[in-house]
Amino acid sequence: MKNFEFQNCTKIIFGKDSEEKAGTEIIKYSSKILLHYGGGSIKKYGLYDRVKSCLKKEDIGIVELGGVLPNPRLKLVKKGIELCRQEKIDFILAVGGGSVIDSAKAIAIGVPYKGNVWDFFEEKTKIKESIPIAVILTIPAAGSEVSGASVITNEDGLYKKGVEANIMRPKFSILNPELTFTLGNNQTAIGVADILAHIMERYFTQEKNVDLTDRLCEATFKTLLRNTPVILKENNNYAARAEVMWAGSVAHNDLLDTGRVTDWASHMIEHELSAIYDIAHGEGLAIIFPAWMKYVYKNNIERFAQFGQRIWGVDFHPYDLEGMALEGIKRFEDFLKRIGLKTRLSEISISDDRFKEMAKKCTENGPVGSFVKLGKEDVLNIYNLAK
C-alpha cells in the first residue's frame, strides 16, 4: 500500500425531499448566491420552483445563470465569473449533473483569481482560493458532487481539460434519488458507464497490496451491476435509484484510490472524443474502456483475472488466467450492451478520420496512464480497437 493522504469534507445530505434543506444549509455561508443550472429539465419537473422557494424562506438572494451544456464550456464559465463579481456573489449552488457542477467549480476558482481562469487548466498557476459551492444532484454519473475536480471544454481549439484541488470540493451535496426518476434510460445508462469507469480507473493498478480498496471497488461495482438493470425496467424504483446514486458518489469521493496509483488513461482518451464530437463522457467511456482493456490486459493478466472472477463470477481456473481475464472483459462489454450502450465508435457514426489528431492531442504532454504508460501510437491503436 502506498502512503496516502485522504480528506473529504463534503457533507452528504441524502434522501427523499432532501433538497428542501438547501436554504438552511446555504444560509450558514451566504445570503446571496449564484443559482447555476443547465437546460429546462429542472424547470420542467418542478425542482427549480422548489429550490427557489426554499431559498426564499431563508431570504437568500438569487442571481441565475442557466444554460450549461454537456461538456461545459469555458465561455459560460467566464460569463459566470463576471456575473459573480458584478453582483458580489460569494456562493454558488449548482443544480444539475456533472457538467453544471464542473462549471460551478470553474466559476468558483475564477472569481477570486485575477488572471484568465483557463490558466488553471493549462497548469500555468495553482489553485489557492475558491468561493464555496454546493450541489443539488440530478444525475448520478460524474461524481463531481464529492470530488475536487472540474473538467471544462475550451471552445477555442476544442480542448477539454481538468483541474483538481481539495478546496474545490462542494461544502455540501444534496442527493435525492427521486430527482433521478425522470432520467431516460439512455441517460441513466451513460451515467452508470461513467461511474463504472471511475471505479475501474482506480481498480486497474499495478500496486499489488491493495486488498481493502480492491474489495471496496468490487463492492461498489457489483452494486451497480445489480441495480442498474432494475432501474432501467422500473424508472421509479426508489431503492435501486438510491443505490446507484450513492454508488456514484462513493466511486469518486477518493476513498477507492487510497493506497494505490490510479490510471485515468481511458478518461483522457475519451476526453478527446467528447471534445470533438460532443458526445456524453459516459457514452465515450463505454466505447473506450473495453478497447483499452483489450489493449493493456497482458500487462497484468492476474489483475484482469481477478476482475473477471470477483466482479463477474468467472470460474477460477489456475492454468488459464488469460482466459479468465478475457471472459471478464467480454462480460463487461456484454453488460454495457445489455444496459443499452454502444461499444464501438462506428455505432455512433464516428469514423477513423481524426484518430491521429486525437491521439496526438491526447499525448501532447507525454504518455497517459500509469497501469500502462500509453504513447501516441498506443492511443491510436486503442482508437482503432474501438472502431
Residues binding its own copies (CB under 8 A): 1-16, 18, 172, 177, 208-209, 211-212, 215-216, 218-220, 222-223, 226-227, 238-239, 242-243, 246-247, 250, 255, 258-259
Q: Round to whole Å and give the CA distance between 248 and 73.
A: 23
CA 229/CA 177 separation, integer angstroms: 16
Tell me whether residue 243 or residue 272 sits nearer to its own copies (CB atom).
Answer: 243
Q: How far is the CB of 380 from its own copies (least distance, A)?
A: 37
- 47 or 106: CB nearest its own copies: 47
Q: How far is the CB of 91 from its own copies (least distance, A)?
A: 18
Nearest Cα neighbor of 295 from 373, 385, 205, 371 is: 385
| Min separation Cβ 26 and its own copies, Å | 15
Q: In this structure, are strands 159-164 and 149-154 parallel, antiparallel, or unpaired?
A: antiparallel
By beta-carbon proximity to its own copies, the closer residue of 238 and 277 is 238
Of 211 and 357, the one with the shorter C-beta distance to its own copies is: 211
Task: Give whichever of 61 and 313 is closer to its own copies, judged by the CB atom.
Answer: 313
Q: What are phi and psi of 140, to 5 degrees?
A: -75, 115
Work out the number of other CB atoms within 10 angstroms of the CB of residue 246: 17
Buried b (16+ CB within 10 A) or exposed e, 4-24: eeeeeebebbeeeebbbbbbe
Inter-CA distances, 149 with 78, 107, 367, Å: 18, 13, 21
In this complex, which beta carbon is closest to its own copies, that of residue 9 or of residue 157?
9
Residue 194 or 272: which CB sits closer to its own copies?
Answer: 194
Q: Can you read off the three cell numbers belonging to residue 154?
A: 475550451
| Closest approach of its own copies to the CB of residue 200, in Å | 16
Q: Which residues pair with 172 in a beta bridge?
A: 11, 134
State in angstroms the smallest separation of the CB of 20 from its own copies. 11
| CA end-to-end distance (rounded Å), the chain | 37
- Considering the complex, what minimum distance in angstroms separates the CB of residue 316 from its own copies? 13
Amino acid found at 94:
A
Assess contact for 101 and 170: CB atoms under 8 A: yes
Least distance CB 255 / its own copies (angstroms): 7
Quickly count: other Cβ atoms within 10 Å of residue 92's Cβ.
29
